Amino acid sequence: MPIEFGVKDFIDILLVAFLLYYTYKLMKASGSINVFIGILVFILIWLVVSQILEMRLLGSIFDKLVSVGVLALIVLFQDEIRHFLLTLGSHQRTSILARFLSGSKKEQMDKSDIVPIVLACLNMSKQRIGALIVVEKNVPLYDTIRTGEIIDANVNQRLIENIFFKNSPLHDGAMVISKKRIKAAGCILPVSHNLDIPKELGLRHRAAMGISQITDAHAVIVSEETGFISVAYHGQFYLRLSAEELESILTKED
């Protein structure tokens, strides 16, 4: 009997390949790549035992393990699953639907909101004052804001510089800017365990990379050691930025 292979089958294979690739990227970013490889090996053994060798007893045991394993994986990777759903729900097209249903309007950061951030980073760079500023975009940062001290003030250059002054109690944490307001400071960010991050980059850079991997926020870093200004966005670093380049990145639309 000839095997029929149509357009639907091609699309099916393409979607499975995309799902596996996205899962691979997610696992690699979270430092769980070995778990991903282990899952693939287990699935491969399960298919060989149950489909090719047709071992009924061993196959039934593997079937039970798979049914229980799905629940275990949901518990184990709840943060990654939550990130995937947040990313899906906050996508540019789906966020329009969400705003329509909730009746709220998107508050877009404009140049007048970005300039104080850029000027503050420029001054702190000259004085070698370390800073970490997270600018919210589509994915809400409620959980991150709750880890810090609520400020809820206008975006102001002097306030940003005072918060990150070396003797300030909040200078070690991250500042979160949301809806054109400085929402909180001293916030705790998830640290990235990506092995590809250069060793010369410190904990601030790893924290910035961590938040950029699970949200679509811009994470601006001012290095205390070198004074260089960098941005982490969508799991990628933009290093040694000038004031013009920083402003361009923060004002750029996806």
- The domain that holds 175 is classified in CATH as 3.40.1700.10
131-135/149-154 β-pairing: unpaired
What is the pLDDT, as a whole number, of residue 241? 94
pTM attached to this predicted model? 0.67
Kindly report the number of other CB atoms within 10 A of residue 82's CB atom: 12
Each residue of 41-52: b (16+ CB within 10 Å) or e?
eeeeebeebbee
Q: How far is residue 235's CA from residue 212's CA, in Å, rounded to a whole number?
A: 5
Q: Cα–chain-centroid distance for residue 106?
A: 20
E-assigned strand segments in the chain: 131-135, 149-154, 174-178, 181-187, 218-222, 229-233, 236-238
CA-based R_g, the chain, Å: 23
Residue 207 structure tokens = 């924290």
Q: How far is residue 36's CA from residue 21's CA, in Å, rounded to a whole number?
A: 11
Residue 30, domain member (yes or no)? yes
Regarding whether 221 and 160 lie in a shared domain, the answer is yes
What is the pLDDT, as a whole number, of residue 102? 46
Residue 96, domain member (yes or no)? no
What is the pLDDT, as a whole number, of residue 32? 63
What is the pLDDT, as a whole number, of residue 33? 67
Regarding whether 242 and 137 lie in a shared domain, the answer is yes
Regarding whether 234 and 153 lie in a shared domain, the answer is yes
Q: How far is residue 241's CA from residue 229's CA, in Å, rounded to a whole number?
A: 5
Residue 130 structure tokens = 């370390």
131-135/174-178 β-pairing: parallel
What is the pLDDT, as a whole number, of residue 94? 47
Residue 12, domain member (yes or no)? yes
Residue 94, domain member (yes or no)? no
218-222/174-178 β-pairing: unpaired
Regarding whether 117 and 42 lie in a shared domain, the answer is no
Q: How far is residue 197's CA from residue 147's CA, in Å, rounded to a whole number?
A: 25
Each residue of 202-239: b (16+ CB within 10 Å) or e?
eebbbbbbbbbbbbbbbbbbbbbeebebbbbbebebbe
> Measured at the alpha carbon of residue 214, what is the angle toward residues 212 and 217, in degrees to the nearest 5?
40
Quick: pLDDT tens for 151-209: 999 999 999 999 999 888 888 899 999 989 999 999 999 888 777 788 888 899 999 99
The number of distinct structural domains making up the chain is: 2
What is the pLDDT, as a whole number, of residue 21? 78
Q: How far is residue 84's CA from residue 215's CA, in Å, rounded to a whole number?
A: 9
Regarding whether 156 and 241 lie in a shared domain, the answer is yes
Q: Cβ(220)–Cβ(213) under 8 Å?
A: no
Domain of 27, in residue numbers: 7-76
What is the pLDDT, as a whole number, of residue 80? 65
Which residues of the chain, if any, have pLDDT below 70? 1-5, 26-33, 76-109, 253-254
What is the pLDDT, as a whole number, of residue 247? 93
